Structure 1
């Protein structure tokens, strides 16, 4: 991780060489999810609630998933843009270095302008928490933090799987956006508002339900059954990244250079 933070520092310094551009891009990124949130606000202004969920409960869900997505985009951008390394033959150079390919690819690119999105999500999170009657405890605060961390790991896992596909397809596969951008759009609402097959898919296959629904029920005091199980679901969901890393190592072993 010492090498990873060196990558981070170097790329941050390089992006700050053009500070006006950096701040303008960050400002623009702040307003991208803002328009989505405005749509969410007007939806509740018209209908009042969605299947028993009021505006601030959904706003909390919105803030958690968008914060996780923006953080993953910022710090795991190397996997999202991985196809360029394969197309240009630059991944060959990664393989001959005496360091893990996971760390090298992870540290190959950062999008610090995504801090604008993270800031907007933090603001929504604070607004939602101030307007919700939650009986806070240390365990609930830890659960909320674990929800965000687990979301980051899930999105990062999807990016890793998408990058692995480039070993066979060379170019990135756009269908993966169904699970990144599409997953973010679905997971910004509690999963129980959707049909059962969607809820099951995004709980047991791609475990967004362990980030935005089951632990959310615990924090809001709406659980039925074992509170501990709901509290631990973010930890269970974060395990999603382990099979994604196994898929990555399988792909690396079967990589054939493009000869570029």
Structure 2
């Protein structure tokens, strides 16, 4: 972890060399998601409810998944841009260093400007929590934190999985955006508004429901049965990430240099 934080420090200082550009990009990232949130607001302004969900309940769902996505874009960006290391032959240098390749790729790139997007999610989260009559306690606060962290782990797992494919394809595959950007857009609404097969896929294959929809029912007092089951659902993010890291190790063992 000392090496990881060293990576953070070096890249943060390098990005601050152009302070004006850094802050303009950060501000831009703050305003980019507003078009999506504005669409959400005007839809509820026109129709009132989405099934049984109110605007602020959906806004809470929106804020959690967008915060998780912003954090993953910031701290797991190395895997998202991994194809560049393969095509340039730079991954060879990582293999001869006495540290985990996953850690080195993770620390190869950070996008600190994504904190602008994170701040927008925090603003929406604070507004939604202020308007919703949630009776807070330590368990619910911990569940909210786990929901965000679990979402980060799921997005990280997707980045790792599609980065691994670069060992065979060299170039990155745009299909990954279906599950990252598309997953974010889909999970910003409660999953029970979709058809059943969509809900099943995003519960048992890519478990966005476990870090957003199901624990959200517990926060809003809609959970049926043992609330502990709903509180622990975000841990599915760990269960999703671990196989992805295993696939990564398999990919590393099968890596053949591009010769660049």
TM tier, smaller: over 0.9
1:173 alignment counterpart: 173
Question: Deviations 1:194-229 (Å, cap 9, x if unpaired)?
Answer: 000000000000000011100000000001112110
- Alpha-carbon distance in 1 for matches of 2:142, 2:58: 20
2:242 pairs with 1:258 = no
1:73 alignment counterpart: 73
Q: Do 1:151 and 1:238's aligned partners in 2 also have CA atoms closer than 8 Å?
A: no
- TM-score computed with the length of structure 2 as normaliser: 0.99
2:111 pairs with 1:111 = yes
2:31 alignment counterpart: 31
Question: Deviations 1:78-105 (Å, cap 9, x if unpaired)?
Answer: 0000000000000000000000001100
Task: Give 3-state SS (helix, strand or coil) of 1:174's partner.
Answer: coil
RMSD between superposed Cα atoms in Å = 0.5
Q: Do 1:147 and 1:215's aligned partners in 2 also have CA atoms closer than 8 Å?
A: yes
Q: Do 1:67 and 1:121's aligned partners in 2 also have CA atoms closer than 8 Å?
A: yes
Cα deviation, residue 237, structure 1: 3.2
5+ residue gaps in structure 2? none
- Alpha-carbon distance in 1 for matches of 2:244, 2:69: 17
- Tell me which stretches of 4 or more aligned residues in structure 1 moved more than 4 Å: none
Task: Give 3-state SS (helix, strand or coil) of 2:152's partner.
Answer: helix
- Alpha-carbon distance in 2 for matches of 1:32, 1:43: 18
Task: Give 3-state SS (helix, strand or coil) of 2:175's partner.
Answer: helix
1:195 alignment counterpart: 195
Question: Deviations 1:22-46 (Å, cap 9, x if unpaired)?
Answer: 0000011001111110110001001
- TM-score computed with the length of structure 1 as normaliser: 0.99
1:219 alignment counterpart: 219
2:233 alignment counterpart: 233
Q: Do 2:211 and 2:236's aligned partners in 1 also have CA atoms closer than 8 Å?
A: no
Task: Give 3-state SS (helix, strand or coil) of 1:250's partner.
Answer: helix
Cα deviation, residue 51, structure 1: 1.1
- Alpha-carbon distance in 2 for matches of 1:63, 1:238: 21
Question: Deviations 1:104-137 (Å, cap 9, x if unpaired)?
Answer: 0000000000000000000000000000000111
2:164 alignment counterpart: 164
- Alpha-carbon distance in 2 for matches of 1:76, 1:195: 31
- Alpha-carbon distance in 1 for matches of 2:2, 2:207: 30
Q: Do 2:77 and 2:109's aligned partners in 1 also have CA atoms closer than 8 Å?
A: yes
Task: Give 3-state SS (helix, strand or coil) of 2:33's partner.
Answer: helix
- Alpha-carbon distance in 2 for matches of 1:13, 1:147: 30
2:206 alignment counterpart: 206
2:136 alignment counterpart: 136
Cα deviation, residue 236, structure 1: 2.6
Task: Give 3-state SS (helix, strand or coil) of 2:67's partner.
Answer: helix
* Paired residues for 1:8-23 under 5 Å: 8-23=8-23
- Alpha-carbon distance in 2 for matches of 1:142, 1:228: 12
- Alpha-carbon distance in 2 for matches of 1:151, 1:238: 10
Task: Give 3-state SS (helix, strand or coil) of 1:58's partner.
Answer: helix
